């Protein structure tokens, strides 16, 4: 997911997307442990997307506190 797309989303949408990505990450890790994955790089992509969303949410909270 591109950072520009993440920045366009509202905070509630980001919170929802974050929950979905965390669930997906859990499923990917579970699948990797039990029977292996076709594309293990998917875990890395999902983790990075989670980090991007957390970064944008933190930036918004800091901006709110300053305002």
Distance (Å, whole) CA 33 – CA 54:
26
pLDDT recorded at residue 1: 86
Digit-coded pLDDT (tens) for 14-66 = 999 999 999 999 999 999 999 888 899 999 999 999 999 999 999 999 999 99
Give the total number of structural domains in the chain: 1
CATH number at residue 27: 1.10.287.310
Residue 17 neighbours by CB under 8 Å, 6+ apart:
9, 53
**Backbone phi, then psi, for 9, in 5-degree steps?**
-75, 150
Helix and strand element counts for the chain (H, E): 3, 0
- On whether the pTM is more than 0.85, the answer is yes
Structural domain span for residue 31: 3-66
- What's the confidence (pLDDT) of residue 36? 85
Quick one: tokens of 41?
A: 């790089």
Per-residue pLDDT band at 67 (split at 50, 70, 90): confident
- The predicted structure's pLDDT at residue 21: 98
């Amino acid at each position: 997911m591109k950072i520009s797309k993440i920045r366009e989303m509202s905070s509630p949408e980001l919170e929802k997307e974050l929950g979905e990505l965390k669930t997906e990450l859990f499923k990917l890790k579970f699948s990797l442990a039990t029977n292996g994955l076709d594309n293990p790089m998917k875990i890395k992509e999902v983790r990075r997307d989670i980090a991007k969303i957390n970064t944008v949410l933190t930036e918004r909270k800091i901006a709110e506190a300053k305002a």
